[in-house]
Amino acid sequence: MLKRFLFLVCLLMCFRCNFIHAQNNRIKTGENIGWYNYFGTIKLTEKIGLHTEYQFRRDDWINNWQQSLLRIGINYQANKSLLLRAGYGWIETFNYGEIPLNSFGKDFTEHRIFQMAQISHAENKISYSHRFMLEQRFVGKYSSANLTKEDSYPLLHRMRYMFRMQAPFVGSSVGDKTPYWAMYNEVFIGFGKNVNANVFDQNRLGLLLGYQWNKKYRIEAGYLNQTLQFGRQINNQSVFQFNQGIIVNVYLNF
Fold of 2-253: Porin (2.40.160)
| pLDDT tens for each residue of 195-221 | 988 899 999 999 999 999 999 999 999
**Where do the domains of the chain lie?**
2-253
Over residues 69-97, the mean pLDDT reads: 98
* Predicted pLDDT at 2: 47
Instruction: Tell me how far apart the alpha carbons of residues 113 and 103 are, in angstroms, rounded to a whole number.
Output: 25
| pLDDT tens for each residue of 1-28 | 445 445 555 555 554 555 444 455 789 9
Contact 239, 27 (CB under 8 A): yes
Model confidence band, residue 38 (pLDDT cutoffs 50, 70, 90): very high
Farthest-apart Cα atoms in the chain, separation: 60
* pLDDT(153) > 80: yes
* Predicted pLDDT at 136: 98
Contact 127, 86 (CB under 8 A): no
Amino acid identity for residue 106 in this structure: K
* Predicted pLDDT at 197: 84
Q: 3 to each of 7, 29, 30, 168, how far by Cα in Å?
A: 6, 33, 31, 17
Residues recorded for the chain: 254
Contact 183, 206 (CB under 8 A): yes
pTM given for the model: 0.89
| pLDDT tens for each residue of 97-138 | 999 999 999 999 999 999 999 999 999 999 999 999 999 999
> How many Cβ atoms sit within 10 Å of the Cβ of residue 69?
19
Instruction: Tell me how far apart the alpha carbons of residues 8 and 25 are, in angstroms, rounded to a whole number.
Output: 28
